[in-house]
Amino acid sequence: MNKYYSNSSNKKNKNYFKIILFFLLGIFFVCTPYHLAAEEIPSNSFLFTENRQMKRPCIILDPAHGGQDKGVVYEDIFEKNITLDIVKRIERLIVERTTFGVFLTREKDEDKSSLDRVTFANDRKATLFLSFHINAHFSPNLNEMQIYINTYSREELKKSHNFKSSWELIQQKHFEQSKELASHIEKAALSSSLWSLITIKKMPLYLLRSIDMPAVLIELGFLSNLKEKEKLKTTEYQQYLASALYDGILTYISSKNEYSTF
């Protein structure tokens, strides 16, 4: 009898031990921070912060041209090199000052087609797409930033009553947000006093028409302006440009309550 009681007692103790163990494991899994699981997901606009469920922005920065495509060439200056230098500076500011995800469509001097860039951005389900260019003009005095938003011809819009069903018209559903983004870039650029004139323009753009997120194309300046050409060559001026553009991106994101900015 004592032996049976002893064995029964041991079994009860083991059962109690298992119950306590399962209880503690349950507490561990319930209380483990949600963001630990999210860290396994590739960086994109749908990552969550530790404290509350808010989207973490993902920014796509597109340095124009690259590889055999030099872009605008003026004496010893290539557009493809300047855009890459400035974009890398913007990337560094985003990484150092925010928790945003950020990707470059090209990290080095390499060929990238428009389709490559569009696919790269859309595959990452990004928050914003910004393409950076340098311009040239027959007038040597022109000093201007130009911010472009994609539009479609009336004929194109008539062909598809539902732009959501047409991949080539997909940017239309982001038109208002793209305008907002352009406006924030414009205000930040004006505050920097780096440009004498900033204009927002609307026109059909092959690069932007299939981008499935708010998107702008920015002409940062004119190599045909000799004074500006000399400034664009300097790392100091490139950093000023990067800071102004970063400020525009940040103020746009901050204006959207659904995104985490910390």
Q: Which of 48-62, 115-129, 176-190, 215-229 has the lowest mean pLDDT?
A: 48-62
Asked if the model's pLDDT at residue 187 lies above 70, the reply is yes
Are residues 47 and 28 both part of a single domain?
A: no
210 within domain boundaries:
yes
Are residues 78 and 13 both part of a single domain?
A: no
Are residues 167 and 197 both part of a single domain?
A: yes
* Mean pLDDT estimate for the chain: 80
150 within domain boundaries:
yes
- Domain residue limits at 239: 42-254
**54 burial level (CB within 10 Å; 0-12, 13-18, 19+):** middle
Are residues 129 and 193 both part of a single domain?
A: yes
C-alpha 235/C-alpha 214 separation (Å) is 29
118 within domain boundaries:
yes
Picking from 72, 194, 92, the residue whose alpha carbon sits closest to that of residue 144 is 194
Are residues 181 and 225 both part of a single domain?
A: yes
262 within domain boundaries:
no
CATH of residue 118: 3.40.630.40
Q: Tens digit of pLDDT for each residue in 1-13?
A: 433 334 444 444 5
261 within domain boundaries:
no
Residue 28 pLDDT grade (very low, low, confident, very high; cuts 50, 70, 90): very low
71 within domain boundaries:
yes
Higher pLDDT, 25 or 137: 137
Are residues 27 and 66 both part of a single domain?
A: no
Are residues 83 and 205 both part of a single domain?
A: yes
Are residues 12 and 111 both part of a single domain?
A: no
Question: Which residues have C-beta within 8 Å of that of residue 32, sequence separation ≥ 6?
Answer: none
Q: Tens digit of pLDDT for each residue in 76-100?
A: 889 999 999 999 999 999 999 999 9
Predicted pLDDT of residue 31: 39
Q: Tens digit of pLDDT for each residue in 217-259?
A: 999 999 999 999 999 999 999 999 999 999 999 999 999 876 6
Are residues 113 and 218 both part of a single domain?
A: yes
